[in-house]
Structure 1
Amino acid sequence: MSKTKKHWAAPALLAALGMMLPLAVGAQQLKELSLNSVPPDLVQAQPAGEQRTASVDLGEEIQNSEQAAAGQARPASLAPAQRAAQAARRQTAGAGEVRRVARLGGAGVERAVFQREPVRVQLSVGKERLITLPAPAALNLPTDMDQVARIETIGTTTYVTALVPFTPIRIVAELIDTGQLVPFDFVASPGDKLPELEVSVLDPQAGAAAASDDAKKDEAPSADMVQLTRHAARQLYAPRRLAWATPGVNQVAVATDPVPRLIRGLNADMVPLGQWKSGPLYVTAVRITNRSSLPIEIPLEQVRGRWVAATAQHGRIGAAGSDTDTTAVYLVCDRSFESCLQ
């Protein structure tokens, strides 16, 4: 290159560098931006009366324009399944790790027996689980259940797939053949696929029959009229240590007023002493005390009233004032003493 050309190139290079220097300096000057620095003509004004609508998530409701304009905010009325899903999201929000249900046997079957407590059904989100009942059943589901789970019933088997995690939701199955109600508590969380759940139920009629049989076994057998009479005699004449109770026999109240005409034609004082009951039978012990100066026979055929049986402790008693002037008569009836006396 000639000397002339070299002299021309140097000024040109300096000129180019001079033009780039201001740009480099300007690139180092940073300015914070905000909406206040945006020119007014670039800001798009929102039309009057138009409200900003947020995205709707499960369990949320859009407030109407009147409430938003007035600045009113009220909790949305959520359906049961929506509330359960929302509660599950709150529990897992911010958690670094989800506690998983212990893994069950892969090919095994989980079994449960419904007695009174609801059957808890654990679900894994996105993984179908089978629930088998002993008979076809109709499910009582919340109206919004399809938003959190997909449930199908074919015969005795119900196929359940949780779409999102949710806290326990009560679902009641009604067995079609017997009408028995079986409550379930469905709960869903992330986890592995769970095995089939077989749910057995106790037949309520069989359970009632078994309970009735147990009650009959526990209940003491009723005493017959002979046993009932012997019990009354033992309470009056046996020493206290031998006056034991008879199973199935209970003492009941009776009026102890004198009954002067209980035995027709008998000159004696007659006073009820006690009454006992077993099953449908009653026995009443009546004290008979002679008032005459002569011994007398106890004429049981002259006893007034409608009695099933009548028995005297002694058939003959001594004169009044003697050691043998008193005995007892035991009257058996299918009603109380006062009722049978009339």
Structure 2
Amino acid sequence: MKKLLLLVTMLAPITLWAMPTTKLSYSNNIIMNNINYDHVVWNGIPISFVVPVGKERILKFPSSVTLENTNVKLTRDKVSILNNAGFLYISAKKKFANIRISVVIKTTGKVVLIDLSAKAHGSVTPVKIMLPSIESKTTQKHKSQLINYVTLMRYAIQHLYSPQRLIKENNDITRTAMYTTSSVNLFNNSNVIAMPLLSWRGGDLYITAVFLKNVWQERIVLDPRNINGHWLATSFYPTNFVDTQDSNHDRTIMFVISDQPFNSALQQMRGYL
């Protein structure tokens, strides 16, 4: 089995295990909210955004943003704005005429101008701001090719362990559903509890962080060759050694990379192929 050494910035070295490939099955048992958006393309013309008084309306951007409020007319007695991961949750407290605000998209530095106002009545339908695409298909394909095992592993570990201010966003890697339950039968024995935490998708690859805990009274060396499912590569952080149950080091995190959502890859149980 081939080992690839990955050095993660500000993190200890980890070992990446390449896994054999097999066919996949699919299972879906997750409930997701369906939200309808009004779509507006930013073309340099300030975007009008009206919020009904006493209501909340959402502005969604392609990625995380910073809000630059240099207009003295935009005060807390008129409006409240919550900025969270590319979403602006805007609530109007009373009526006011157009107030221009600047929203900066962090990943590109592009500034989007919003003419914000509040009226007694109006739509509360969320608005999704879209940027015009200027990239060629060749460029987009090249970006997709840059997403590999190393890129995904570094991204996942940083999002779990690094302070928020040090995390670098990547528009080509996004959170994705795991289509699974809170605990899964990842290992062939019952000595280790496995709980999927988070999953991301980059290009045609998926990476999932799985919390592992030893429930046995002996130290265990976790071997990626003994896990169920179809995985392209796996790694442990900080270690693949877990001490006895209820000790200080009876747990670790395992990262698994696949070419399908987590539960689909897990359903391909080894020994039943």
TM-score, scaled to structure 1: 0.35
Q: Which has the higher helix share?
A: 1
Structure possessing the higher radius of gyration over alpha carbons: 1
Q: Which has the higher strand share?
A: 2
Q: Specify which structure has the bigger relative contact order, considering alpha-carbon pairs within 8 angstroms and separated by 6 or more residues.
A: 2
